[in-house]
Each structure stands twice: as C-alpha cells, then as structure tokens.
Amino acid sequence: MFDRFEILIGDKIKLLKNKTIMVIGLGGVGGHAFEALVRSGIENIIVIDNDIVDITNLNRQALASQNTIGKSKVDVAAIIAQNINPNCKVIKCNAFLDKDNIESVFKRKIDFVIDAIDKVETKKAVIKKCLDENIPFISVMGTGNKMHPELLEITDIRKTEYDPIAKIIRKMTKDEKIKDKIPVIFSKEKPLVKGKIGSNAFVPATAGLLATSYVINKILEENHE
C-alpha cells in the first residue's frame, strides 16, 4: 500500500504506523493535513471538530463533496481514512475544544499535534497545553484572504508578520513570558481584503500539506538521531 513511500523511508514506515497524531480542526487546512497523514502511513489519528460539512466548504476542504454536505466532519474523516487504509484507527471527538474540555481531550497518548483551528482562544490553549506537556506540535496561522501558497513558510511565531492571528499569539508569548519555540506555518503575503474572509483551494491545502510534512519529517529525524 505504501510501497512508493517506503522507497524514500524504508522500514521507518513501521515507526509512523505506531505514532498517534492529533488534528484539531478539519477545515481547509486540517482536512488536507488529515488526508496526507493517512496517506503517509499514520494509523492512529485523533480528530477534533464539532462542525458539519457545508456547501460553502466545497471550494477548499478535502472532506467536502456533494455526498458529504450536512455530515459531521469527524465522521466523514473516519470514512475517508477507512477507504484509504482500513488499518487506520480514527478516534473521533465531535466537540468544540476549549479550556473547559482540553484536559480530558489531552489525556490520551499523543505524539504530535497539528493545530488547524482559527479560534484564537482555543489556539492559545492548545499551544500552552502542548508546551506544558512537552508534546511536539505545529500551529497554522491564518490562510484566508491569501492567493500565493509559495509565500507560506514554517518558522517560529516571533518571526511572523502580516497575520492578525500570529500577532495575537506573539503578544501572548510576550505577556506570559513564554521562552519556548512555537513552530508555526504562516504566510508572508499581506491580506488582499479586510472584513470578510475569502479563501481558495490552494493556500489552505498547501498549509495543511506543510503541516503534515513537518510532522512526518520531525518524527523521522527523531528516529534517525
């Protein structure tokens, strides 16, 4: 099933199969990250999202199709995973993650977290929880109102610019005197419009694929060391 990937990584595919990755948010970014994780041999994935697929998701979200409109995103994700790799176990959390339930959600063994949410308070809570628990993570900043995926990059939060969400997270690190590195994906592109948020098929998707790339390569690097 993963023969082409094994050409690149050899028997390290077994390492990936045994890791548990949490994906928080299954929208334009998280849905593509989730699918890429499944196609990369990850067989234990925790997905958190309380939303359903909407017709407005069709232009950019990997889980969205005419057949999935109105269905729970976590349920759709589980079906997609089974259709790709029947050995993939998806733990579904159909809930809105916040400070009140984050402790219970993080009780499971988690090897890596992909934060693909746009609710700032939840994003703050996830980042701080990962830092407190020493759980590796990657946090994706805003991808709306952008047209150039080539301007996305992975860096520390302190090196970000042109991103309203990143600005808030930077302030949090300063106010709370957080010294740890906070790896993020952000775009150098200035937002095209203000107010309403528009999006496309390629910027969020690229951010999601970058997130999965970061996770997979970090796991493989750790094993190499």
Contact present, 45 and 81 (Cβ < 8 Å): yes
206 CB contacts (<8 Å, ≥6 apart)? 149, 152
Range of the domain at 115: 3-143+197-224
Q: What is the pLDDT of residues 127-164, one digit of tens each?
A: 999 999 999 999 999 999 999 999 999 999 999 998 99
Q: Which residue has the higher pLDDT, 159 or 191?
A: 159
Amino acid in position 1: M
d(CA 83, CA 179): 42
Q: Assign residue 72 the CATH number of its domain.
A: 3.40.50.720
Per-residue model confidence as pLDDT tens digits over 39-97: 999 999 999 999 999 999 999 999 999 999 999 999 999 999 999 999 999 999 999 99
What is the average per-residue pLDDT within 172-181? 97
What DSSP assignment string belongs to 119-175? -HHHHHHHHHHHHHHT--EEEE---TT---GGGEEEEEGGG--S-HHHHHHHHHHHH
Whether 185 is covered by a domain: the verdict is no
Is 157 part of any domain?
A: no
Residue 186 lies in a domain: no
- DSSP letter at 192? S
Residue 225 has pLDDT above 60, yes or no: no
Q: How many domains does the chain have?
A: 1
Q: Are strands 137-140 and 112-115 parallel, antiparallel or unpaired?
A: parallel
